[in-house]
Each structure stands twice: as C-alpha cells, then as structure tokens.
Amino acid sequence: MSVRLLAVAAVLAALASACSPAAQSDPVSEAGHTHDDVHDLPASEAPTLEVEVSPDPVSGVNLHLVTERFTWAPESASGPHVPGEGHAHVYVDGRKVARVYTPWFHLDGLQLGSHELRVDLTANDHAVYAADGEPVADTVLVEVPEPGEGHGDHSHGGDAAHDGTGMEVSLMVVEDPVGGWNVFVDTAGFVFAPERASGAHVPGEGHGHLYVDGQKVARLYGAAYHLESLEPGSREIRVALYGNDHLPYVVDGTPVDAIATVEVEGTPTQIDQTIELRADVETPERVEIALGTVVELIVAGDVSDQVHLHGYEVLVPISPEEPARLVFTADVPGVFELELERSGTLLAQVVVSD
C-alpha cells in the first residue's frame, strides 16, 4: 500500500451535503456486516489497485481507480464471492464514505485542510482482497486549500443546454442486501466520459447527476452507483444527463432524465422549521436559519421553472399547480442564494449561522 501527497483545488465546504448520505456509514461494517474477512491470493494472481486523484475544475476531486486482474461487478454486490470480481470502498480520514462500483468516482464535500484518502479493493461479499497478506489498497494524502485558490466556477442558470435528440436514459433502483440502495442506469446515444468532466463539451458524452427528492447527491461517472442510505418514506430518485461542461441535455426543452420512486421503511426525520416564499418577489428576501436545523422551504408562484438552493445543491421543479418543496439539513454555515434556475431570478439569500 502506497501513500502519496496531492494538493487539490479548493472545494466549497457548502457542498458537504452532497456526500451526507454516505457519511453515515460505519468504517468497518455495513448494516451489521463485518469486513474482517480477507480473500488472500498470491501476489501474481491477486488484483492490483492504484488510485489517481485529480482536482475537479468545478468542485471536489476525481478518483480514477486503475486495476488489473479485476472485474467491476455492481450487479453482484453483497452476493457470493466470485474470484476477481467486486467493487471498492472509499475512506476519508478512516471513515467510510462510499462504496464505488465504477473505475471513476467524484468525491465532493471535503472540508478544508489535509485528509487521508484510502481505497480498498473488495470482493462481492465485501471482504478485502489481499496479495500475500497485504491488503489490495492505496492511500493518498489530499490537501484542500482555502476557497478562491484556483477553484472553478460554473452556473446552470439561464436557458443554456445541449441538444439531447436521440438520447435515452432509464433507471432501476434496488435495495442492497447488506445496506443502502443500488442505482443502475442504462443509456442510449450517450457515453460516460469521466476523464473529461468539467471540460469542454463534446456532443453525445458527459456524466449524470443523481438527485434524491430534488436534491443533487452525486455526479455519476458510470452506469451504477450505491446510495448508502435513504430517508424513510417515499423517495423520488432522478438521474439526468449532462455534458462535460455541466449543461443539461434536453429535447424540446425537456431534460433527458429518468425517475424512479422507492418506499423506504422507517420514521421520517422531523422538520424543525418550515419557511414559505414566493417565486414572484420584487426584492429578494433574507432568510436566517440556525445551524443544524432541518428546514423545509416551500416556494409557490405562477412560474414553470426549477428552484435552486446553491451550495446545498437542492434543485426542485416548480409550477403554478405544484409549489417547490426543498428539504435539507442546514449543517454548513454561510450565505447561500435561492434562485429560479432557468430565469436566474434571485428569490432569497439563505443565511445559516450559529
């Protein structure tokens, strides 16, 4: 196992919510399933792993997991061991933050400072692969500097989009036997191009955005993704296709996307504060929220658009018949803009503080 040092571009701490579902995982178990077992092989036969990490020009870091003698098998995750098959587990400072099903992964929400990022190569049954007793793993030290030190910026505002004619996307969400939910995406007329994420537009290629109840939770670099947890109740899972430059693919103004609804057992989180706003305000409002509060923003108005809470990356449709309902945990302090996505109209400044 190697340890390397990498300095990355700034990552806005406000985007930490994008990784919040994963942050609930225990570093050594999933839903009571221990990871103590090891599949030890001779070094000449064992899989190999090297982690390449690069700063994303817009936010976070991109992981490229380079393997040999290994097959990614998300469809068999949490199933019986098949030699040479499996997935990966990603840890930040010793805490498991993600189960990875594809060779590329976008990691967002890193706080400022130095972090140890470790990736373990694991079998379908979550046991770690080893080569002559040494875990098949790689570790990189990542330094996240202050905002403004070279971090990228982009906006989804206005009507800018790419022609998605001929593209199709379908979605299947299934509960994982060990824990969480597995999202499987099938596309036509579209190619995932993670190596060019946040770069120049190339027609027909890009990545996906994964939303839960309108809140963006991940950038998809492949056809499979693991959601570590979902809030109890009826949850809407949505995947939309985007170009390398983060502009959406649309057909006649309609996003190229797919939606699935899943029912999650349990008791939903209680809302601490409900705030009602209008989409036709003349002057943007100022909304103050206490840090740690679970907030419900309801935005009503005679418009057909999307309401976007920047920083927390909550994006929810609004229409004259259906107000936008944005639910999030105010766990990152700061001042965040709430706007109509397509028109760019600023509705409010959301202030989160102690």
Q: CATH code at 279?
A: 2.60.40.420
pLDDT number for residue 36: 56
Domain endpoint, select from 205, 231, 264: 264
Residue 256 included in any domain: yes
Same domain, 242 and 301: no
Taking CB atoms within 8 Å and a gap of at least 24, the contacts of 275-282 are 276/300, 277/338, 277/347, 277/348, 278/347, 279/303, 279/305, 279/307, 279/318, 279/324, 279/340, 279/345, 279/347, 281/347, 281/348
pLDDT number for residue 54: 92
pLDDT number for residue 341: 84
pLDDT number for residue 269: 75
Residue 270 — very low, low, confident or very high, per pLDDT cuts 50/70/90?
Answer: confident
Select the more confidently predicted residue: 296 or 306.
296
The predicted model gives 51-72 an average pLDDT of 94
Residue 111 included in any domain: yes
- pLDDT over threshold 60, residue 189: yes
Same domain, 27 and 122: yes
Residues in the chain: 354
Residue 154 included in any domain: no
- pLDDT over threshold 70, residue 161: yes
The predicted model gives 105-123 an average pLDDT of 91
Residue 304 — very low, low, confident or very high, per pLDDT cuts 50/70/90?
Answer: confident
Domain endpoint, select from 264, 289, 312: 264
Residue 89 included in any domain: yes
Same domain, 303 and 232: no
- pLDDT over threshold 90, residue 311: no
Residue 325: its H or E element: strand 324-329
Same domain, 168 and 232: yes
Please state which of the ranges 177-181, 290-294, 313-317, 348-352 shows the lowest mean pLDDT. 313-317
Residue 308 included in any domain: yes
pLDDT number for residue 159: 63
Same domain, 16 and 79: yes
Please state which of the ranges 9-23, 158-172, 203-217 shows the lowest mean pLDDT. 9-23
Please state which of the ranges 42-46, 140-144, 185-189 shows the lowest mean pLDDT. 140-144
Question: Which CATH number covers residue 208?
Answer: 2.60.40.10
The predicted model gives 236-241 an average pLDDT of 97
Domain endpoint, select from 244, 264, 284: 264
pLDDT number for residue 215: 83
For 100-112, the pLDDT digits (tens) are 999 999 998 777 7
- pLDDT over threshold 90, residue 113: no
Residue that the structure tokens 């028109």 belong to:
343
For 134-151, the pLDDT digits (tens) are 999 999 999 876 544 334
Residue 82 included in any domain: yes
The predicted model gives 310-320 an average pLDDT of 85
Residue 281 included in any domain: yes
Same domain, 259 and 295: no
What lies within 8 Å, CB to CB, of 125 at 6+ separation is 37, 78, 79, 80, 81
Percent of the chain at pLDDT > 90 equals 68
Same domain, 17 and 97: yes
pLDDT number for residue 110: 78
Same domain, 258 and 293: no
Q: Rounded CA gap, 347 and 281, in Å?
A: 7
Same domain, 21 and 137: yes
Please state the domain count of the chain. 3
What lies within 8 Å, CB to CB, of 176 at 6+ separation is 77, 78, 182, 226
Same domain, 8 and 117: yes
Residue 317 included in any domain: yes
pLDDT number for residue 70: 98
Q: Rounded CA gap, 126 and 34, in Å?
A: 8
pLDDT number for residue 146: 57
- pLDDT over threshold 70, residue 120: yes
* Phi, psi at 163, each rounded to 5°: -70, 120
The whole domain housing 38 covers: 3-144
pLDDT number for residue 86: 98
Residue 81 — very low, low, confident or very high, per pLDDT cuts 50/70/90?
Answer: very high
Same domain, 296 and 335: yes
pLDDT number for residue 295: 95
pLDDT number for residue 109: 75
The tokens for 270 are 């209680």
pLDDT number for residue 60: 86
The tokens for 222 are 């492949």
Same domain, 250 and 277: no
On the 0-12 / 13-18 / 19+ scale of CB atoms within 10 A, 201 is: middle
- pLDDT over threshold 90, residue 46: yes
